[in-house]
């Protein structure tokens, strides 16, 4: 009964309009003080920066990973079965156990001329990342090696078995593993020089040579100048005018490579970085992955080429005749080992004659 009466009281009287509901005034949002606005902006900025740092860190860990190589290396005392296919002799299974230094990497660098099927240029580089040191050593293309083929020059390895055969023979000769290789053909070399806008270089001598059979024409004047791709190719292929023939050519190749690397490291701009990158990816062959290249590229930013890069050529006698073939380059063992240990050794201990395999006509 009481409940019904209460409901009746709440019903509007007949004939009277219901009382309109009162609109509650909206609560005014409190204004932030200048200090509160500043703190809010700083908070948002901190969140954005923190997120960016996390993203960059993750990308760095993924894209700039340190290359992984075997730290323990076994070097065969007698490598002939691997290189020649000859049956293993007693003691051929003996190996030397070598331990590598941390973050020290090696790379085979090859220049290839499609016209003759041989490796025109062979170099090996060792990059000591912690100490920011690079050693670059040229191997003369006529270097005598102990292999099972008629022409025992190391540059003939490419025609015999491609990059991997060159890799095996160079690794056996020096007694070191080759972690990566880079192969560049002459036309790609021209494109790369053009991509960096040419290279300033002091041409050591006047160069004049014509070989219609190879369609090779070299005409350069001595002196400091900017070389375009075609002129650079002429420079690195010329060898007839040097007093020491192919060794003079090798010295010039090394000096030019250093000049080109210096220009790339210091002269990359937003205008040419795309062209340089495309040329490297499209025209240069390598087994280094993208993450490997990004890692080495980042590390190389701290490399001073003038102080941190050393170059040499394996010493020897280029007038040796062996089994009816002239002009072999026979390495001097003692001096060669000194250069290998000074410029290329990735190990914690020295490379010995048992680890390197330097072939002699007399032995």
- Structure token pair of residue 300: 């190389």
Of 127, 121, 115, 165, residue with least CA distance to 145: 165
The full set of domains in the chain, from first to last, is: 62-187+268-344 (3.30.420.590)
Q: What are phi and psi of 315, to 5 degrees?
A: -85, 150
pLDDT at site 131: 95
pLDDT at 10: 53
- Are 182 and 286 in contact, with CB atoms under 8 Å apart? yes
Q: What is the DSSP code (8-state) at residue 89?
A: P
Burial class (CB in 10 A: 0-12, 13-18, 19+), 322: middle
- Residue 17: predicted pLDDT: 55
Model confidence, pTM: 0.77
Regions of the chain with pLDDT less than 50: 1-2, 4-5, 8, 57-58, 60-62, 81, 84-91
> What DSSP string describes 191-246?
HHHHHTT-EEEEE-S-EEEEEGGGTEEEEE-SEEEEE-HHHHHHHHH--TTSTTTH
pLDDT at residue 21, as a whole number: 57
**Are the CB atoms for 77 and 94 separated by under 8 Å?**
yes
Residue 351 makes CB contacts below 8 A (sequence gap 6+) with 174, 175, 176, 337, 340, 341, 345
Q: What is the CA radius of gyration of the chain?
A: 34
């Amino acid at each position: 009964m009481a409940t019904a009466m209460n409901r009746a009281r709440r019903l509007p009287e007949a004939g009277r309009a219901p009382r309109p509901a009162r609109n509650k005034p909206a609560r005014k949002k409190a204004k932030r003080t200048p200090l509160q606005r500043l703190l809010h902006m700083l908070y948002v900025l901190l969140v954005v920066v923190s997120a960016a740092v996390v993203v960059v860190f993750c990308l760095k860990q993924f894209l700039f990973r340190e290359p992984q190589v075997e730290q323990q290396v076994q070097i065969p005392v007698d490598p002939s079965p691997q290189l020649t296919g000859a049956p293993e002799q007693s003691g051929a299974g003996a190996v030397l156990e070598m331990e590598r230094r941390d973050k020290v990497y090696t790379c085979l660098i090859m220049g290839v001329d499609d016209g003759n099927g041989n490796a025109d240029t062979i170099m090996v580089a060792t990059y000591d990342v912690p100490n920011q040191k690079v050693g670059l050593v040229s191997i003369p293309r006529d270097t005598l090696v102990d292999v099972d083929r008629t022409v025992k020059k190391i540059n003939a390895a490419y025609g015999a078995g491609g990059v991997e055969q060159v890799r095996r023979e160079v690794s056996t000769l020096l007694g070191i593993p080759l972690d990566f290789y880079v192969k560049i053909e002459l036309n790609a070399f021209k494109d790369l020089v053009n991509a960096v806008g040419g290279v300033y270089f002091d041409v050591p001598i006047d160069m004049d040579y014509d070989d219609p059979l190879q369609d090779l024409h070299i005409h350069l004047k001595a002196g400091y100048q900017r070389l375009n791709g075609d002129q650079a190719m002429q420079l690195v292929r010329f060898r007839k005018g040097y007093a020491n023939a192919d060794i003079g050519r090798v010295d010039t190749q090394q000096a030019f490579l250093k000049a080109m690397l210096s220009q790339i490291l210091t002269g990359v701009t937003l205008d040419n970085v795309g062209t340089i990158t495309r040329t490297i990816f499209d025209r240069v062959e390598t087994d280094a992955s993208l993450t490997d290249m990004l890692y080495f590229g980042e590390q190389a930013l701290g490399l001073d080429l003038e102080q941190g890069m050393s170059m040499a050529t394996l010493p020897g006698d280029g007038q040796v005749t062996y089994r009816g073939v002239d002009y072999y380059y026979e390495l001097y063992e003692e001096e060669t080992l000194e250069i290998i240990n000074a410029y290329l050794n990735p190990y914690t201990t020295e490379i010995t004659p048992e680890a390197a395999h330097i072939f002699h006509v007399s032995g």
